[in-house]
Amino acid sequence: MIHSLPHLSLGNFPTPVHRLSNLGRAIGIDSLWIKRDDLGGLLGGGNKVRKLEYLFADAQKSRPGDSSYPTLFTIGPTGSNHVRATAVYGKAAGFRVECLLFRQPPTEYSELNYETICEYAAEIQEVTRVSTLFARYAYQKTKHAFGIGPERYFITAGGSSPLGSVGYVTAVTELKTQIDEGLLPEPRFIFVPVGTCGTMAGLMAGVRLAGLRSQVVGIRVSDWIIANAWAVSRMERRILRLLSATDGGLMNPRPVELWHHDFGKGYAIPTEAGTRAVEMMMEHEGILLENTYTGKTLAGLVHYVQTHGCEDEPVLFWHTYGGGATFLQHTPPQSLHSPPPANYFQTASETTSPHHSDRRRSSCHTN
Ligand SMILES: Cc1ncc(COP(=O)(O)O)c(C=O)c1O
């Protein structure tokens, strides 16, 4: 069934897996591994690329008989990795992208994403409250359902629809092949951040379908109202239903393992343990994490393993942050699969253009 779903190749898969020997030694987990979805796309994007491969393909075929692409419409906070990836990959794939954003507390990283969104999205609207964001999104979708207003393809927050989350079902098939090839042992635990639930639910469905015994452990990084066991379980069932994988007890709910203790004071508010985890990953392995998702997840991994006394088991950290915001400053993507221009890998400060803030002002509409 998965193979009959439309799919558009945007990223570079399979992503590598390797052992984190130095970090593992430092934190007392002998068999610590990483799945490098940070390297999944030339234009950054992390965990979003796998989701967008299914969503863009579905958008392309959403107007039978019409060869032009619909406008993509999506939502998120101003520093959203998802909105940034949709704007950048969408433009590269030939879509017009519109988005509705709510203002999150600015950090250096969220502002970089915001600048990139302003550069690549065709139209941006901003609201100040999350509740207004969801109300407006629902309003736009309802209008669309009644055939009012412009033709658009709606992509939900985080790309976490059942279809988008299928990207993480196939990610587990990829992981299973790597296990079969002897590149890593079958993990006892797979750790992943939980923002809008699609990545964790896709991994859980994928683990079941691939027949792995691994336990997916979600580290909650967004508010409980969005990231909770009920929402993850419901999303997993919707994915399995979409894939017609409803036989053999697959629909029987399984406990959702969510770790809440490293969330801290709120979404995108760094914690001390998360910040330390970001530093340790850089110091011991030279790999970039950030404070909103992956730093908290590594901190959660350490605390979970210590609390459950499973330091001797194989543990997999699924890296979901693309780090692409810095690659893209003022470098329009030419093609998804061509080599990056020389300045892709410069830092934002090295590529800052004096006209940038002017461009940002002219492309953003706040209300
Ligand atoms: C870097 C990163 N990791 C993890 C997540 C969480 O994934 P999901 O929204 O599918 O739960 C997100 C987005 O929310 C993200 O941007």
> What single string gives the DSSP state of each residue in 319-347?
E----GGGTTTT-----TTSPPPGGGGS-
Q: Is residue 331 part of a domain?
A: no
Spatial contact of 204 and 192, defined as CB atoms under 8 Å apart: no
* Predicted local distance difference test score (pLDDT) of residue 64: 72
Number of domains present in the structure of the chain: 2
Q: Is residue 359 part of a domain?
A: no
* Predicted local distance difference test score (pLDDT) of residue 249: 75
CATH of the domain at 126: 3.40.50.1100
Query: Is residue 204 located within the same domain as residue 92?
Result: no
- Residue pLDDT, tens place only, 74-113: 999 999 999 999 999 999 999 999 999 999 888 888 899 9
Q: Is residue 343 part of a domain?
A: no
Query: Is residue 54 located within the same domain as residue 73?
Result: yes
Q: What is the mean pLDDT of residues 333-345?
A: 42
- Residue pLDDT, tens place only, 198-241: 999 999 999 999 999 999 999 999 999 999 999 999 999 999 99
Q: Is residue 246 part of a domain?
A: yes
Query: Is residue 130 located within the same domain as residue 93?
Result: yes
Query: Above 90 in pLDDT, residue 65?
Result: no
Query: Quick one: tokens of 134?
Result: 């969801």
Query: Is residue 219 located within the same domain as residue 143?
Result: no
Which of 81, 163, 232 maximizes ligand 1 atoms within 8 Å of its Cβ, making it the mutation to test the pocket? 81
Q: What is the mean pLDDT of residues 317-326?
A: 80
Query: Above 50 in pLDDT, residue 362?
Result: no
Query: Is residue 40 located within the same domain as residue 185?
Result: yes
Query: Is residue 171 located within the same domain as residue 151?
Result: no
Query: Is residue 113 located within the same domain as residue 183?
Result: no
Among the candidates 160, 181, 203, a domain finishes at: 160
Q: How many helical (H) and strand (E) elements, i.e. helices and strands, does the chain have?
A: 12, 11
Strands, E, within the chain: which ranges? Answer: 17-19, 32-36, 71-77, 97-102, 123-127, 152-155, 189-194, 215-220, 257-259, 315-319, 364-366
Query: Is residue 199 located within the same domain as residue 287?
Result: yes
pTM of the model: 0.89
Ligand 1 atom nearest the C-alpha of 198 is: 10
CA–centroid distance, 66 to ligand 1, in Å, is: 33
Query: Is residue 150 located within the same domain as residue 169?
Result: no
* Ligand 1 contact, 197 CB (< 6 A): yes
Its domain, for residue 78, covers 48-160
Query: Is residue 287 located within the same domain as residue 185?
Result: yes
The strand pair at 152-155 and 189-194 is best described as unpaired
- Residue pLDDT, tens place only, 145-174: 998 888 899 999 999 999 999 999 999 999
Measured over the CA atoms of residue 176, residue 286, residue 11 and residue 204, the dihedral's sign is positive
Which of 48, 156, 293, 326 maximizes ligand 1 atoms within 8 Å of its Cβ, making it the mutation to test the pocket? 293
